[in-house]
């Protein structure tokens, strides 16, 4: 099996026909200009060392060298062997609150941005574990199903904002139930839920979801973001300029408070642990350390092809051709000039 590590350099090979056409055009034009300057018979007298063959030969060497260099830069790789690698780890669903209250800035730059930053760092540390993301506000939706493709998970995470869920509110219970329904229970892997929210639940149904998690042996962790005393929710214009704070129907500024009691109750009943979010600490780092202690299970296998670089097969000939071209003169060789003189003597 052959592949190119940098396929874009292979596409650059389409420039070769253009270079050939340019060389032909300039050579033809140069010859026509010489014919206008002097007749063909005078060329050997005026330009005794000029060699059309050597000019074309040297250009061909340049082209060949460029071709080999481009292929070398593309780095052809050959698959030497295929290994079957066992996939071992745990399953983790992160439940991220994207309600408007997560825009509060008591944690910088905001509760939501801090949560996304920590999740991104957690994804970078995972090895073998499957991770999924559920976003929720008034409703809950699976943003990323369980996957070990961490690059794709980071890509989807970057697109999450308060507009990801149109329904207002904070439905922690439905989010927990959606995570429990989204796990795969036939592979025997250990499972955990990480809830990231300010804890202001508006929908209820939490106790039933926690009981369901206990029955399925799913551990629940939680990170509470925000201030227990309450802070306003800033409102920004489309230009990114703060225009004020969110207000209720009576025109009063809405204060969002961290409900630690609810989150502590969830984690105590869910056999997990509660962490208070802050500006400086990485709470998901602590949760990762807890998760790493959970017994990992095999949940599948995948075939991996090992590739070896073969760029030097083309780099070395390219360098050799350039060296040869450096020592090859563009003028006629002495042997060729002697041959021409002998031919002139015979003709006379």
99-148 residue pLDDT tens: 999 999 988 899 999 999 989 988 888 877 889 999 999 999 999 999 98
At 70-82, the pLDDT tens digits run 999 998 888 666 5
Report strand pairing: 274-276 vs 218-224. Answer: parallel
pLDDT of 131 reads 93
pLDDT class of 93 with cuts at 50, 70, 90: very high
Which overall architecture, per CATH, does domain 87-302 show?
A: 3-Layer(aba) Sandwich (3.40)
Question: Who has greater pLDDT, 28 or 301?
Answer: 28
Rg of the chain over Cα atoms, rounded to whole angstroms, equals: 35
Q: At 195, which helix (H) or strand (E)?
A: strand 191-197
Q: At 167, which helix (H) or strand (E)?
A: none
pLDDT of 347 reads 53
Question: Who has greater pLDDT, 214 or 237?
Answer: 214
Beta-carbon-side half-sphere exposure of residue 331 (alpha carbons within 13 Å):
8
Question: What's the mean pLDDT in 84-98?
Answer: 80
pLDDT class of 345 with cuts at 50, 70, 90: low
What SS3 class is residue 309? strand
Looking at the predicted structure, is the pLDDT value of residue 340 above 60?
no
> What are the residue ranges spanned by the domains of the chain?
2-75+310-347, 87-302
**Average pLDDT score, the chain:** 82
- With helix as H, strand as E and coil as C, how does 225-293 read? CCCCCCEECEEECCCCCEEEECECCCCCECEECCCHHHHHHHHHHCCCCEEECCCCCCHHHHHHHHHHC
Question: What's the mean pLDDT in 60-73?
Answer: 90
pLDDT class of 205 with cuts at 50, 70, 90: confident
pLDDT of 237 reads 81
pLDDT class of 87 with cuts at 50, 70, 90: low
Question: Who has greater pLDDT, 239 or 215?
Answer: 215
Question: Who has greater pLDDT, 325 or 234?
Answer: 234
pLDDT of 2 reads 78
Sign of dihedral through CA atoms 181, 187, 191, 193? Answer: negative
pLDDT of 273 reads 93
* Separation CA 289–CA 287 (nearest Å): 5
């Amino acid at each position: 099996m052959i592949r190119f590590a940098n396929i874009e350099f292979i596409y650059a090979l389409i420039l070769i026909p253009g270079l050939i056409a340019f060389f032909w055009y300039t050579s033809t034009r140069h010859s026509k200009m010489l014919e206008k300057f002097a007749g063909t018979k005078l060329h050997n007298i005026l330009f005794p060392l000029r060699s059309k063959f050597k000019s074309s030969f040297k250009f061909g060497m340049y082209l060949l060298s460029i071709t080999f260099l481009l292929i070398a830069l593309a780095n052809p790789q050959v698959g030497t062997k295929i290994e079957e690698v066992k996939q071992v780890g745990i399953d983790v669903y992160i439940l991220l609150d994207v309600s408007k209250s997560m825009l509060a800035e008591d944690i910088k730059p905001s509760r939501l941005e801090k949560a996304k930053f920590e999740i991104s760092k957690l994804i970078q540390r995972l090895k073998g574990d499957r991770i999924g993301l559920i976003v929720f506000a008034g409703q809950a939706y699976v943003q990323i199903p369980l996957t070990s493709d961490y690059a794709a998970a980071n890509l989807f995470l970057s697109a999450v904002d308060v507009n990801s869920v149109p329904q207002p509110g904070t439905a922690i219970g439905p989010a927990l139930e959606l995570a429990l329904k989204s796990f795969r229970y036939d592979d025997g892997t250990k499972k955990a839920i990480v809830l990231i929210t300010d804890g202001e639940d508006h929908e209820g149904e939490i106790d039933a979801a926690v009981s369901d998690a206990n029955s399925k042996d799913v551990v629940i962790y939680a990170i509470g973001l925000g201030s227990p005393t309450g802070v306003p929710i800033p409102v920004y214009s489309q230009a990114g300029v703060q225009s004020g704070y969110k207000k209720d129907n009576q025109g009063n500024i809405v204060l969002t408070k961290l409900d630690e009691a609810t989150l502590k109750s969830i984690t105590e009943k869910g056999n997990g642990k509660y962490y208070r979010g802050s500006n400086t600490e990485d709470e998901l780092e602590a949760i990762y350390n807890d998760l790493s202690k959970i017994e990992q299970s095999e949940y599948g296998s995948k075939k991996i092809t090992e590739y070896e670089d073969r760029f030097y097969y083309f780099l070395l000939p390219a360098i050799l051709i350039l060296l040869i071209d450096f020592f090859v003169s563009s003028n006629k060789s002495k042997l060729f000039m002697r041959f021409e003189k002998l031919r002139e003597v015979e003709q006379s």
